Structure 1
Amino acid sequence: MRKIASLFTMLMLVTAFAFAQNRTITGTVTDEKGDALPGASVRIKGTRTGVAADNNGQFRIQAKTGDVLLVSGAGIDATEATVGSGNTIAISVKRSVVAGTEVVVTALGITRQKRELGYSTAKVSGAELTKAKSVNIANGLQGKVSGLNITSVNNGVFEDVKINLRGIRSLLGNNNPMLLLDGVPMGIGFLSSLNPNDIEDVNVLKGTSAAAIYGPDAVNGVIVVTTKKGKVSTPVITLGHSTQASTISFFPEFQQEFGSGGYGAYTPYENWSWGPAFDGSVVEIGHVLPDGSVQTVPYLPIRKEKQKFFNTGVTIQNDLSFSTKDFYLSVQDAIIKGIVPDDRNRRTGIRLSSSREFGKFKVTFNTNYIQSNYNIFDDVSMGNYNASQNVGLNNGLMNLIFNTPAHIPITSYKDFINNPFAEYNGYFNDYGHNPYFAIDNWRNFGKSEDLISNIELGLKATSWLSFTYRAAMNMSTNTGRSTTKGETPTAFGVGRGFASIPGAVGDFANRGSRLSSEAFATVNKKFGELKFSAVAGHYFRQTDQKNTSVSAGNLVVPELFNVSNRTGELGGGSSFSKTRLLSVYGSIGLGYKWANIEVTGRNDKTSLLAAANRSYFYPGVSASFVISDAIGAIKNSSVISYLKLRGSWNKTGNVTLGAYGLEATFSQASGFPYGSLPGFTANNSAPDPLLRPEFVKSWEAGMELSLFKNRVGIEATYFHQDNTDQIIPITVSAATGYTSSTVNAASFVNEGYEFDLKLTPLVQLGDVRINFRGNATYNTSRVDEVYQGLDQLFAGGFNTFAANYIVKGYPAFVFQATDYLRDDLGRVIVDKITGEPSQDPNTKIFGQTMPKWIVGLNPTVSWKNLTFSILGEYKGGHTAFHKIGDDMAWTGVSIATAVNHRERFVFPNSSYEDPLNPGKYIANTDVTLSNVNNFYTGVYRDVASNFLTSAAAWRLREASISYDLPKKVLGNGKLIKGVSLAVTGRNLYLWLPKSNVYSDPDFNFSTGNTSGVGTSQINPPTRTFGASAVFTF
Structure 2
Amino acid sequence: MLLAGLFITIGVALAQSQVSGTVTDENGEPIVGAAVRVVDTKTGTVTNNDGRFNLTLPTGKRSITVSYLGMKTVTVKASNGMTVKLYSEDRKLDEVVVTALGIKRQKRDLGYSTEKVDSKLLTEGKAVNVASGLQGKVAGLNISTLNSGVFENVKINMRGIRSLTGNNNPMLLLDGVPVSLNYLSSLNPNDIDNVNILKGTSAAAIYGPDARNGVIVVTTKQGAEGGAPRVTFSSSVQASNISFFPKFQERFGSGGGTGYDFIPYENESWGPEYDGSMRQLGKPDEKGNVMKYPYAPIKNNRKDFFNTGLTFQNDLSLAMKDFYISFQDARVKGIVPDDWNQRTGLRFNGSREYKNFKVSLGANYIQQNYDVYSSKAMYNYYKGQDVGMHDGLMDLVFATQAWVPLTKFKTDDPWGNYNTYYCDFSLNPYQAIETFREKGRKHDFIGNIDLKYSPFSWMDLNLRVAVTHRNISFKQKQKNVSPSEYAAKERSFRFIPQRVSDQNEQYYRLSTEPFITLHKTVGDFNLGGVLGTYMRTNREDYLGVAASPLKILGLYNVSGRTGEVSPTERTIRTRMFSVYGSATVTYKNFATLEVTGRNDKVSVLAPGHNSYFYPGVNASVVLTDAIPAIKSDFLNFLKLRASWNKTGNADVAAYRLNTPFEQKDGFPYDGLPGYKTGERKTDPNLSPEFINSTEVGFETSMLKNRVTLDFTYYNQKNTDQLIYIRTSRGTGYTSRLVNAASFRNYGFETTLKLTPLVNFGDVNVNLNLNYGYNNSEVLSLYEGMDNFFLGGYFMAGAYAVVGKPAFIYSAKDYKRDPQGRVVVDKETGLPQIQEQNKYFGRTMPIHTLGINPSIRWKGLTVSAVFEYKGGNYSFNYQGTTMAWDGQSRVTAANSRQRFVFPNSVYIDGQDANGNPVYVANTNHTVNSNYAYFHGDNYRSVGTNFLFSANTWRWRELSITYSLPAEWLKFQNYVKGVDVAFTGRNLMLWLPKSNEWSDPDFSVYKDQSAGTITSEINPPTRTLGGSITLTF
**TM-score using structure 1 length:** 0.92
Q: Which residue of 2 aligns with 1:347?
A: 343
2:914 aligned with 1:920, yes or no? no
Q: Report the alpha carbon displacement of residue 29 of structure 1 after superposing the two structures with TM.
A: 14
Q: Which residue of 2 aligns with 1:152?
A: 145
Residue 317 of structure 2 aligns to a residue whose secondary structure is strand
Name the aligned partner's letter for residue 108 of structure 1. L
Map 1:618-767 → 2, pairs under 5 A: 618-635=614-631, 637-767=632-762
Match of 1:808 among 802, 810, 813: 802
List per-residue Cα deviations over 1:795-854 (Å, max 9, x = no partner): 0111x2110111111111110010111111110001122211011111110000000000
Q: Which residue of 1 aligns with 2:846?
A: 852
Query: Residues 36, 465 of structure 1: CA spacing in aligned structure 2 closer, same or farther, 3 A cutoff?
Result: farther
Query: Residues 921, 423 of structure 1: CA spacing in aligned structure 2 closer, same or farther, 3 A cutoff?
Result: same
- Do 2:128 and 2:189's aligned partners in 1 also have CA atoms closer than 8 Å? yes
Give distance in 2, aligned partners of 1:201 and 1:1012. 30
Query: Residues 56, 473 of structure 1: CA spacing in aligned structure 2 closer, same or farther, 3 A cutoff?
Result: farther
Query: Residues 29, 834 of structure 1: CA spacing in aligned structure 2 closer, same or farther, 3 A cutoff?
Result: closer
List per-residue Cα deviations over 1:235-286 (Å, max 9, x = no partner): 1111110000000000000001000102321111111101011111111111
Name the aligned partner's letter for residue 923 of structure 2. D
List per-residue Cα deviations over 1:198-253 (Å, max 9, x = no partner): 00000000010000000011011000000001123221111110000000000000
- Do 1:1003 and 1:1012's aligned partners in 2 also have CA atoms closer than 8 Å? no
Map 1:566-581 → 2, pairs under 5 A: 566-581=561-576
2:206 aligned with 1:213, yes or no? yes
Give distance in 1, aligned partners of 2:1030 and 2:891. 58
Residue 461 of structure 1 aligns to a residue whose secondary structure is strand
Q: Report the alpha carbon displacement of residue 37 of structure 1 after superposing the two structures with TM.
A: 5.0
Name the aligned partner's letter for residue 322 of structure 1. L
Q: Which residue of 1 aligns with 2:56?
A: none
Q: Which residue of 1 aligns with 2:133?
A: 140
2:254 aligned with 1:260, yes or no? yes
Q: Which residue of 1 aligns with 2:54?
A: none
Q: Which residue of 1 aligns with 2:1026?
A: 1028
Give distance in 1, aligned partners of 2:645 and 2:877. 40
Give distance in 2, aligned partners of 1:72 and 1:935. 72
Name the aligned partner's letter for residue 159 of structure 1. E
Q: Which residue of 2 aligns with 1:940?
A: 938
Residue 417 of structure 2 aligns to a residue whose secondary structure is coil
Give distance in 1, aligned partners of 2:642 and 2:430. 58
Name the aligned partner's letter for residue 304 of structure 2. K
Map 1:305-384 → 2, pairs under 5 A: 305-384=301-380
List per-residue Cα deviations over 1:398-446 (Å, max 9, x = no partner): 10001111111111101x24x3321112111111100000000000010
Residue 201 of structure 2 aligns to a residue whose secondary structure is coil
- Do 1:211 and 1:219's aligned partners in 2 also have CA atoms closer than 8 Å? yes
Match of 2:177 among 177, 180, 184: 184
Q: Which residue of 2 aligns with 1:25?
A: none
Q: Which residue of 1 aligns with 2:187?
A: 194
2:390 aligned with 1:397, yes or no? no
Give distance in 1, aligned partners of 2:539 and 2:267. 48
Q: Report the alpha carbon displacement of residue 779 of structure 1 after superposing the two structures with TM.
A: 0.4
Match of 1:459 among 432, 453, 461: 453
Q: Report the alpha carbon displacement of residue 613 of structure 1 after superposing the two structures with TM.
A: 0.8
Q: Which residue of 1 aligns with 2:967?
A: 969
Q: Which residue of 2 aligns with 1:546?
A: 541
Name the aligned partner's letter for residue 930 of structure 2. N
Residue 431 of structure 2 aligns to a residue whose secondary structure is helix
Residue 920 of structure 1 aligns to a residue whose secondary structure is strand
Name the aligned partner's letter for residue 443 of structure 2. E
Q: Which residue of 2 aligns with 1:472?
A: 466
- Do 1:29 and 1:36's aligned partners in 2 also have CA atoms closer than 8 Å? no
Name the aligned partner's letter for residue 110 of structure 2. L
2:117 aligned with 1:121, yes or no? no
Give distance in 2, aligned partners of 1:721 and 1:632. 35
Q: Which residue of 2 aligns with 1:386?
A: 382
Q: Which residue of 2 aligns with 1:491?
A: 485
- Do 1:456 and 1:470's aligned partners in 2 also have CA atoms closer than 8 Å? yes
Moved more, 909-918 or 498-507: 909-918
Q: Report the alpha carbon displacement of residue 342 of structure 1 after superposing the two structures with TM.
A: 0.3
Query: Residues 972, 795 of structure 1: CA spacing in aligned structure 2 closer, same or farther, 3 A cutoff?
Result: farther
Q: Report the alpha carbon displacement of residue 529 of structure 1 after superposing the two structures with TM.
A: 1.9
Q: Which runs of 5+ in 2 are unaligned?
A: 1-20, 25-29, 48-58
Larger Rg: 1
Name the aligned partner's letter for residue 142 of structure 2. N
List per-residue Cα deviations over 1:550-583 (Å, max 9, x = no partner): 1102112222101011112111110001100100
2:438 aligned with 1:444, yes or no? yes
Name the aligned partner's letter for residue 605 of structure 1. K
Give distance in 2, aligned partners of 1:833 and 1:796. 36
Q: Which residue of 1 aligns with 2:27?
A: none
**TM-score using structure 2 length:** 0.93
- Do 1:399 and 1:1016's aligned partners in 2 also have CA atoms closer than 8 Å? no
Match of 1:960 among 937, 958, 961: 958
Q: Report the alpha carbon displacement of residue 894 of structure 1 after superposing the two structures with TM.
A: 0.4
Query: Residues 1010, 487 of structure 1: CA spacing in aligned structure 2 closer, same or farther, 3 A cutoff?
Result: farther
Q: Report the alpha carbon displacement of residue 99 of structure 1 after superposing the two structures with TM.
A: 2.8
Query: Residues 813, 444 of structure 1: CA spacing in aligned structure 2 closer, same or farther, 3 A cutoff?
Result: same
List per-residue Cα deviations over 1:82-115 (Å, max 9, x = no partner): 499xxxx999968888432111100000111111
Name the aligned partner's letter for residue 959 of structure 2. I
Match of 1:304 among 300, 305, 310: 300
- Do 2:699 and 2:709's aligned partners in 1 also have CA atoms closer than 8 Å? yes
2:498 aligned with 1:500, yes or no? no
Give distance in 2, aligned partners of 1:809 and 1:752. 17
- Do 1:855 and 1:875's aligned partners in 2 also have CA atoms closer than 8 Å? yes
Give distance in 2, aligned partners of 1:835 and 1:280. 33
Residue 456 of structure 2 aligns to a residue whose secondary structure is coil
Query: Residues 410, 43 of structure 1: CA spacing in aligned structure 2 closer, same or farther, 3 A cutoff?
Result: closer
Map 1:857-936 → 2, pairs under 5 A: 857-915=851-909, 917=911, 919-936=916-933
2:821 aligned with 1:823, yes or no? no
List per-residue Cα deviations over 1:662-699 (Å, max 9, x = no partner): 12222322222223211222222123220000000001
- Do 1:396 and 1:1016's aligned partners in 2 also have CA atoms closer than 8 Å? no
Moved more, 385-394 or 242-251: 385-394
Match of 1:587 among 573, 582, 603: 582
Give distance in 2, aligned partners of 1:70 and 1:555. 73
Give distance in 2, aligned partners of 1:67 and 1:310. 61
- Do 2:195 and 2:219's aligned partners in 1 also have CA atoms closer than 8 Å? yes
- Do 2:435 and 2:478's aligned partners in 1 also have CA atoms closer than 8 Å? yes
Match of 2:1002 among 1001, 1004, 1007: 1004
Name the aligned partner's letter for residue 551 of structure 1. A
Give distance in 2, aligned partners of 1:248 and 1:658. 38
Query: Residues 912, 36 of structure 1: CA spacing in aligned structure 2 closer, same or farther, 3 A cutoff?
Result: same
List per-residue Cα deviations over 1:771-812 (Å, max 9, x = no partner): 0001001101000111100111110111x2110111111111
Query: Residues 1025, 965 of structure 1: CA spacing in aligned structure 2 closer, same or farther, 3 A cutoff?
Result: same
Query: Residues 916, 569 of structure 1: CA spacing in aligned structure 2 closer, same or farther, 3 A cutoff?
Result: closer
Give distance in 2, aligned partners of 1:313 and 1:755. 37
Q: Which runs of 5+ in 1 are unaligned?
A: 1-27, 45-50, 58-63
Identical residues among aligned pairs (%)? 50
Residue 227 of structure 2 aligns to a residue whose secondary structure is coil
Query: Residues 374, 71 of structure 1: CA spacing in aligned structure 2 closer, same or farther, 3 A cutoff?
Result: closer
